[in-house]
Amino acid sequence: VPTIASTDAPTSALAVIYTPEGQFSEYLMIPTNPNMVIMDTGVVSRAPVRLLVSGMGDALSTYFEARANKVSGCQTMAGGASTLAAQAIAELCYKTLLADGYKAKLAVEQGLCTKAVENIIEANTYLSGIGFESSGLAAAHAIHNGLTQLAECHHLYHGEKVAFGTLVQLVLENAPMAEIETVLAFCRSVGLPTNLHMMGVKELDMARLMEVAKASTAEGETIHNMPFKVTAEDVLAAIVTAHQLGL
């Protein structure tokens, strides 16, 4: 019975373990999913708006990571191959964010629940949760894990880092500029960070950013689900490029 919609964790059988310092440690796979997830939309809509927006950031990556896994044919987080249903859920998640994210933010800023808020709660929690678990994670969440190497980013919520990770993934893919602009415009409309300065990184220290890139490409990381080989050097270049695009 989650009282916030800040991540897609409630529906999944996956937990994320962090070190006491706030750095990513490992994924913990739980044997079964919850039998039921119950959300009081009135309670969720009265929580701080930043939590709902963070959930949108987490959900933003679902479609793009699912799309990458579909191309690469890598195993999903739940095991096995992705399905048409999983891909459709992931795409619906993205479309719902674009359609209702800004409207939901405005309502929750006033502590109110509208149809848009209900749709975003569903997207953040259910569509994203089932979408990522049944399709797979890729670069965006690996970039998030790498960013936990920076103490300046420890104050950020999970979805805020994932949103920037999504931009980095799009740069890695050399996605069309129109698609990148759509994602940037969405992030700006709801208040998700689009560059490193907004995340607390005052100066671009290439050595420290390389530590982020190396952590993002560690053995077993989900970035290796991308449909092409990704090196730490590739990630560093994509991080800096995404930062410049998002200024």
Burial class (CB in 10 A: 0-12, 13-18, 19+), 214: middle
User: What does the alpha-carbon distance between residue 242 and residue 169 come to, in Å, rounded to a whole number?
Assistant: 9
- Which residues does residue 29 pair with via DSSP β-bridges, in sequence order? 14
User: What does the alpha-carbon distance between residue 111 and residue 6 come to, in Å, rounded to a whole number?
Assistant: 16
Q: Kindly name the residue from 8, 100, 144, 243 that is annotated as catalytic.
A: 144
Q: Kindly name the residue from 58, 100, 234, 243 that is annotated as catalytic.
A: 58
Q: Tell me if residue 224 is catalytic.
A: no
Q: Tell me if residue 144 is catalytic.
A: yes
Supply the DSSP string of 75-130, one letter for each residue. PPTTSS---HHHHHHHHHHHHHHHHHHHHHHHHHHTT---HHHHHHHHIIIIIHHH
Angle between helix axes 206-216 and 232-245 (nearest 10 degrees) is: 120
Q: Kindly name the residue from 8, 141, 234, 243 that is annotated as catalytic.
A: 141
- Annotated catalytic residues are 58, 141, 144, 158
